[in-house]
Amino acid sequence: MAHGEYKPIDAYGLIGNLETCALVGRDGAIDWCCLPNLQSPSIFAAILDSEAGGTFRIRPTGSYDAVQRYQPDTNVLDTEFTTDAGALRLTDFMPILSDDPAAPFSEPWIFRRVECLEGSVEFEVTFEPRFDYARARTVIESMDNVLLARGNGEHVSLNTAFALEIDGISARGVHDLSAGDTAWYTLQYGQRKRPESIDPELLLDRTRRYWRNWVHTCPESGCPFEGEYHDAVTRSELVLKLLMHHRTGAIAAAPTTSLPELIGGTRNWDYRFSWIRDAAFTIQALFKLGHIQETKDYVDWCLDVVHSGSETFQPFQPLFGLQGETKLTEETLDHLEGYRGSAPVRIGNAARSQLQLDIFGELVLALYETSHYGETITETTWETVREVIEYVCTLWHKRGAGMWEVRSEPEQFVHSKVMCWVALDRGIKMATDRGFDAPLDHWQEVRSEIREVVLERGFNESINSFVRSFEADELLDASALRIPLVGFLPFDDPRVQGTIDAVRERLTTERGLVRRYEGEDGLPGDEGAFILCSFWLVDCLALSGDVEEAETLFENILELASPLGLLSEEVVPETGELLGNYPQAFSHLGLINSAIYICTAQAEDGVDIDYPAIDAQM
């Protein structure tokens, strides 16, 4: 199969309803959608196999130019086609189920409005659902002027403005619209016919208002993000909201699986889960943007999934399903060729069973941040925190897979040790500040021991930098940039500045983008520059006083975003092509937090910015 049939990753926009998402291409094709939930099997997966995966496409029949844009401050997506005969606008959105408890439907809908803006345009509709990641047999039939597609014990219905011709497992049609004409195509999971009480135009207006009411409000005293970064921050927060599960508060790392870190490579993972590691990053970003309820919901979800209910503490896994699922068995879908031939396609994630020591520090740091912002840490929550810290005291010295979830032999990763120190450090501060019962002498002793070991074995004087691990003490890891960000050492410490210099010399590309690490990780092939790590460098530069350098790098990263302002996990340094699952929460969290750090470094008599992650290291 010709790989040219695949669109670039940045040629997609994202829509969603806080339970699932869909990727809509610049050619009007929904090439990825899992229904009814984000972790459900896909119904459209052409992004992972352009021939067999399934798609739902609406586009002009002849040649055209296309541009996508979001309606301002929303996740309502417009794709505008210009042809020799006229112009057509395709508007895609999903109503927010939680926005109206009295809504006449309970399962997800995708609404697609086709509007002719000028002239007369002929367009084609292609409907090719493929259930269960294209493993199940699909049958399409017409019932009461509605197309009903069945497979895998499920069904979706398509209400169409014009009749489509069914050809076994597909349906197609060609139609014309003249200036001012509008046609609706609505897809619903688990329901045969659109209720007559539903007015698509009213739902569109309601969906617009939902998103615009949700985005952060700029205070009269001045928005911390006012200026050239404002639109990028707003788009990032809207992406994060799309990745939130509205009932549990969990946030998916990305809405996709197996978009490759290297074209043709095997580094293809399922990111439709929520990682405990993301907690502190998420809370910082959401709280600063004023999304207090989402912050509380996310913290509650983290506490729920790590609290087993057992009388004794049970160590928790690094990632969970969005509704707290623990069994995330990894398997490969060998019948799908993968994006541009990048196989295997994986569902599930084996990292769930890894020992990743940093997650304990991330959880405690997140809870500390909420208390710093004024939220109450209850006695019950403190008991969980105390159990986590006591557990850290027993295993901080062990080897693990680290935050990068390597599939090579476990190592004594420096970042993991630093985050164990963070768990103890923030636990001690919470106990001291709030008067909680804790074995402070013991904790302080372990905290000092970890610090001494990290400074002795984790720093290489010959290269003047913190290193990847105690075993790989000549190799660098970009996670060392977090050492000052979490308060282990101050920014003006020579060892911190030496680490920043070493990362810039050995891990950065010509554009200043940062690769994750040096050394083996148990997987074949290379990978691109890591967008989150590049934002960490922005943070370190800004808070070290190199604000102009930070701004330059930040702007370089923003230039890599898709035309819609979306970021994936990685980027090809030579070409700027986005790689990896898309859009990626980590990358957009990094963007928001870097914008905060730059604004903090710039702030003098202007906007007052109080940012706990900065205060913690002072």
- Is the model's pLDDT at 116 over the cut of 80? yes
* Alpha-carbon gap, residue 580 to 260, rounded angstroms: 5
Q: Are strands 77-82 and 65-70 parallel, antiparallel or unpaired?
A: antiparallel
pLDDT at 134: 97
Q: Maximum Cα–Cα distance for the chain, whole Å?
A: 78
Lowest-confidence segment of 18-32, 53-67, 309-323, 528-542 by average pLDDT:
309-323
Q: Give 11's pLDDT tier (boundaries 50, 70, 90).
A: very high
Tokens representing 213?
A: 């009411």
Sign of CA dihedral 165, 167, 172, 173: negative
For residue 558, what is the DSSP state? H
β-bridge mates for residue 33, sequence order: 22, 44
Q: Give 154's pLDDT tier (boundaries 50, 70, 90).
A: very high
End-to-end alpha-carbon separation of the chain, Å? 57
Residue 118: how many CB atoms within 10 A of its CB? 13
More confident residue, 372 or 556: 556
Residue 326: how many CB atoms within 10 A of its CB? 12
| Cα 101–chain centre separation | 27
**Mean pLDDT computed over 457-471:** 97
pLDDT at 312: 59
DSSP calls for 419-431: HHHHHHHHHHHHH
pLDDT at 2: 43
Cβ atoms of residues 40 and 21 within 8 Å: no
Three-state SS letters, 263-298? CCCCCCCECCCEEHHHHHHHHHHHHHCCCHHHHHHH
* Alpha-carbon gap, residue 102 to 152, rounded angstroms: 29
Three-state SS letters, 364-380? HHHHHHHHHCCCCCCHH
| Cα 368–chain centre separation | 23
Cβ atoms of residues 283 and 366 within 8 Å: yes
- Is the model's pLDDT at 618 over the cut of 60? no
What's the mean per-residue pLDDT of the chain?
91
**Mean pLDDT computed over 268-272:** 97
* Alpha-carbon gap, residue 108 to 19, rounded angstroms: 8
Q: How far is CA 584 from CA 145, 158, 274, 403, in A?
A: 39, 30, 12, 16
**Mean pLDDT computed over 344-367:** 93
pLDDT at 334: 97
Lowest-confidence segment of 256-260, 440-444, 573-577 by average pLDDT:
573-577
| Cα 5–chain centre separation | 26
* Alpha-carbon gap, residue 345 to 334, rounded angstroms: 7
Sign of CA dihedral 245, 250, 253, 258: negative
Using the structure block, give the residue that is written with the tokens 């060609």: 174
Q: Which residues contact 233 (CB under 8 A, 6 or more apart)?
A: 225, 289, 591, 592, 595
Q: Indicate the Cα dihedral angle 51, 55, 61, 63, nearest 10°.
A: -70
More confident residue, 36 or 312: 36
Lowest-confidence segment of 51-60, 93-102, 354-363 by average pLDDT:
93-102
Length of the chain: 618
More confident residue, 283 or 170: 170
Q: Percentage of the chain surpassing pLDDT 70? A: 94
pLDDT tens digits along 190-220:
877 767 778 899 999 999 999 999 998 887 6
Query: Three-state SS for 36?
Result: coil
- Is the model's pLDDT at 606 over the cut of 60? no
Q: How far is CA 333 from CA 33, 37, 41, 115, 351, in A?
A: 16, 19, 11, 38, 18
Sign of CA dihedral 262, 267, 271, 275: negative
Amino acid at 566: L
Q: How far is CA 353 from CA 40, 272, 308, 327, 405, in A?
A: 21, 16, 16, 10, 10
**Mean pLDDT computed over 323-338:** 95
* Alpha-carbon gap, residue 164 to 174, rounded angstroms: 8
- Is the pTM higher than 0.85? The answer reads yes
CATH code, 3-213: 2.70.98.10
Q: Are strands 109-128 and 86-93 parallel, antiparallel or unpaired?
A: antiparallel
* Alpha-carbon gap, residue 259 to 590, rounded angstroms: 20
Cβ atoms of residues 205 and 250 within 8 Å: no
Q: Percentage of the chain surpassing pLDDT 90? A: 77
The backbone torsions φ and ψ at residue 580, rounded to the nearest 5 degrees and listed phi first, read 85, 175
The full set of domain ranges for the chain reads: 3-213, 215-615
- Is the model's pLDDT at 145 over the cut of 80? no
Buried b (16+ CB within 10 A) or exposed e, 353-384: ebbbbbbbbbbbbbbbbbbbeebebeeebbeb
- Is the model's pLDDT at 523 over the cut of 80? yes
Query: Three-state SS for 120?
Result: strand
**Mean pLDDT computed over 491-496:** 97
- Is the model's pLDDT at 181 over the cut of 70? yes
The backbone torsions φ and ψ at residue 194, rounded to the nearest 5 degrees and listed phi first, read -65, 125
* Alpha-carbon gap, residue 84 to 121, rounded angstroms: 9
pLDDT at 104: 56
Angle between the 292-306 and 358-372 helix axes, to the nearest 10 degrees? 140
Cβ atoms of residues 54 and 129 within 8 Å: yes
Amino acid at 449: E
Stretch (H or E) spanning 341: none
State the CATH architecture for 215-615. Alpha/alpha barrel (1.50)
* Alpha-carbon gap, residue 308 to 589, rounded angstroms: 28
Q: Give 287's pLDDT tier (boundaries 50, 70, 90).
A: confident
- Is the model's pLDDT at 613 over the cut of 60? no
pLDDT tens digits along 395-428:
999 999 999 989 999 999 999 999 999 999 999 9
Tokens representing 346?
A: 């994986």
Cβ atoms of residues 449 and 512 within 8 Å: no
* Alpha-carbon gap, residue 403 to 512, rounded angstroms: 22
